[in-house]
Amino acid sequence: MSTNLEVGIVGLPNVGKSTLFNAITKAGAEAANYPFCTIEPNVGVVEVPDERLWRLTEMYRPRKTTPTAMRFVDIAGLVKGAAQGEGLGNKFLSHIRQVDAVVQVVRCFTDENVTHVAGSIDPVRDIEIINTELCLADLETVEKRIERTQKMVKGGDKKAQAELEALNTVKAALEKAEPARRAIQSEEVAAILRDLFLLTVKPTLFVANVSEEEVADPSGNPYVQQVKEYAEKEGAAVIVVSAKVESEIAELADEEAQEFLADLGLNESGLDKLIKASYNLLGLMTFFTAGEPEVRAWTIVRGTKAPQAAGKIHTDIERGFIRAEIVSYNDLIACGSHNAAREKGLVRLEGKDYIMQDGDVTYFRFNV
């Protein structure tokens, strides 16, 4: 499994975050062939579900099939006051700085056996507690950079003046508990902030955790509606899952899991929905390489050109890139084989300016 994507899962205590993360870890552990010697206990690796990979495997009958994967990082210790060191405070903040996106689990179920840290169910309050902690942590980071930048301005650095103005704009937003991403009005500001690894710049997805009874049809759940309304203002997506259901699915074999989902009126697991939503959140897509040795899925950012996609496989292929031989997945499946697609003129040769499309089945020609 190839992976270079990390999604951090955050949430207050007793919202279902750990249950969901444990389900992810169990789902990932079964794959076994990670390209790592060891994985820290707070990281779960899961393959990105993609039916196309298995259709290609049936067609090519390779010796090996390799899906692409995502890493989910359990960000523990987030409570009110975390930015000042409450709970695990700084430990959670250092973990979250390294992730590509943030998934915030919000409790949208009532259960008298599971106490809420704040004593009542209020998803918007919970979201705002977490956002405030992230903003406070970012404010500290920005203020430290402002101090350094002010010294550079006094030293006559003209470039530092523009940086200082951008930092002060972001600081003003953070002081109002507004995420830094709202203060980014230009690519210049985004570039200045990039190496600060601010938490509130990262794309965010909300997971509404509901009861097992409501997961197939959450329309009657007022808490889910509140989360959706809040997320809409943020320009963020919401997916509805039941962490309890996910923990049960994680214990089942594939066939039993499908039957269990069907009985609940679901056509895919919440984990699959979460992975796909995270994929979209990060603006990612998949291309494939296929042959007798291996059928493999590769993850790239939308808008990637062919040579850079080749570089995902090996830097030598990017450096010596000549052409990309490409057939779209849909054309390939419709024709039934690579040779049949070639005979119909559906296999194309593309050059250095070609922008890769989702589902491209690709062979890179190169010379080093």
**Mean pLDDT to the nearest integer, 59-87:** 75
Same domain, 274 and 309: no
Residue 291 lies in a domain: no
Contact 74, 23 (CB under 8 A): no
Q: Does the annotation flag 132 for ligand binding? A: no
Q: Does the annotation flag 303 for ligand binding? A: no
pLDDT given for residue 37 in this prediction: 30
Same domain, 41 and 106: yes
Q: Which residues contact 347 (CB under 8 A, 6 or more apart)?
A: 325, 326, 327, 338, 341
Residue 56 lies in a domain: no
143 alpha-carbon distance from chain centroid: 28
pLDDT given for residue 134 in this prediction: 86
**Mean pLDDT to the nearest integer, 149-173:** 90
pLDDT given for residue 70 in this prediction: 86
Tell me the per-residue pLDDT of 336-367, one tens digit each, with 9 for 90 and over: 999 999 999 999 999 999 999 999 999 999 99
Same domain, 269 and 310: no
Residue 274 lies in a domain: yes
Same domain, 177 and 210: no
Q: Does the annotation flag 14 for ligand binding? A: yes
Residue 124 lies in a domain: no
Same domain, 6 and 85: yes
What percent of the chain stands above pLDDT 90?
53
Task: Answer yes or no: is pLDDT of 88 > 60.
Answer: no
Same domain, 251 and 312: no
Alpha carbons 148 and 126: distance in angstroms, whole number: 34
**Domain-terminating residue out of 154, 171, 201:** 201
Q: Where is pLDDT greater, at 276 or 326?
A: 326
CATH value at residue 134: 1.10.150.300
Q: Does the annotation flag 170 for ligand binding? A: no
**Domain-terminating residue out of 139, 166, 201:** 201
Q: What is the mean pLDDT of the chain?
A: 86
Show the domain range for 273. Answer: 2-50+65-117+203-281
Residue 275 lies in a domain: yes
Q: Does the annotation flag 171 for ligand binding? A: no
CATH value at residue 330: 3.10.20.30
- What sections of the chain are H helices per DSSP? 17-29, 51-60, 90-97, 123-154, 158-175, 187-194, 222-234, 243-249, 254-264, 270-281, 306-313, 315-319, 329-335, 338-343
pLDDT given for residue 362 in this prediction: 98
Query: Would you state the structure tokens that stand for residue 96, as one six-digit string?
Result: 């979250």
Same domain, 346 and 270: no
Q: Does the annotation flag 19 for ligand binding? A: yes
Residue 84 lies in a domain: yes
Same domain, 217 and 72: yes
- Total structural domains within the chain: 3
**Domain-terminating residue out of 144, 173, 201:** 201
Termini Cα distance of the chain: 27
